[in-house]
Amino acid sequence: MELPPSLPIFRKVHFYNYLFLLLSLVVFLITYSSYLLPSSPSVTSLANLIWPNPKSSKKNKDYKLPPFAIGEGEKDCNLFNGKWIWDESNRPLYNESECPYLLPQVTCQEHGRPDKDYLYWRWQPNDCLIPRFNASLMLENLRGKRMMFVGDSLNRGQFTSMVCLLHKIVPNDAKSLDKVDSFTIFTAKDYNATIEFYWAPFLLESNADSPGKHRVPDRIVRKNSIDTHGKYWKGVDILVFNTYIWWMSGRTFKILNGTFDDDNIKDIEDVPTNDAYRMGMKNLLRWINKNMDPKRNRVFFTSMSPSHAWSKEWGGDPNGNCYNETKMIEDPNYWGSDSRKSIMQVIKEEFSKSKVPITFLNITQLSMPRRDAHTSIYKERWGPLSPQEKANPSSYADCIHWCLPGLQDVWNELLYAKLLYP
């Protein structure tokens, strides 16, 4: 029996219907994949109430891209409001074993951490996308330049993360890492570029300035002493500052009016911590306005990194902390008491007076849920454990620093976005 002449046409119609449905499904999955994948609740940064997303100036026809920028970011996009998306396909950005520059204080897998979920979370802003980190593009933009992270061990972690993100495209015989006094310097020889870290936990001169021996019973900062360290930052093209946790030793802080060279240091006063911190920020701004050229330089400041020392604050064990925490805090508005909003206010008030633009990396709220990402007990320790510590691991858990790879790689993705696509 012959088929009716209309049947081939009928089959073609069905084929195109199926093709249309298939393409529609693909478009739907691409568009809404972030909603279908596991994710954290959306975070609208509480810090933005203090430090709102700056209004875009790109409507001005005379607007010029700042140094190192290669394009404009998405209009009215706040990279720091968003949620965490589970992404096994693209996380982590490198493996622990692939980066020889990781310090034993951050290599959690090497030191026996049994879980890996903390590695697979990607930050997704609500209204835009973070540009994919491109090591070749970053190094090309750093050709012939110096990039320096200045601050404490948390900034050293971000520096190390940046080195790990970049080094894999540089041949072994064309890169080096050198430590000299307060400096740690990674050199990409073919690019004539350096990524550096400079230890200065207060930015100002202090009695904790030794990179290897900085554990002191009473922290003291010398008043108006930014130039003690600042003389080593001159000539740097991109500066990334941080300072917070070292100031948080109480409600007052010891400020030295004399010098550490005096035989008998006596001229010390206790001032409210916020006032001491404000003095530090005023000093920093004075140095930036004097030494940084907005036509040639870029300046960044990373906000306070949250710690998770008291699990009772998120409804956990009254005596616990980040130890054994493998999941994020679910409350999108959680804000730990260790992160003082009054300090955020000081930063806003002082930075608003700067003549040189300072890009504020507002990582505090997005990092706040990440109780799961700390090094905890999975790191090299300075000394042997006592019997009491062995019996109670939470007593020596580090709930300040972060595993690498991990959260600080996200901070550098945001830094990369703000540097190249402001």
d(Cα 278, Cα 5) in Å, to the nearest integer? 86
398 is catalytic: yes
Catalytic choice (167, 308, 374, 401): 401
153 is catalytic: yes
Catalytic choice (40, 153, 161, 206): 153
Catalytic choice (209, 372, 398, 409): 398
401 is catalytic: yes
Cα–Cα separations (whole angstroms), residue 247 to 112, 242, 267: 32, 12, 19
- Residues noted as catalytic: 153, 398, 401
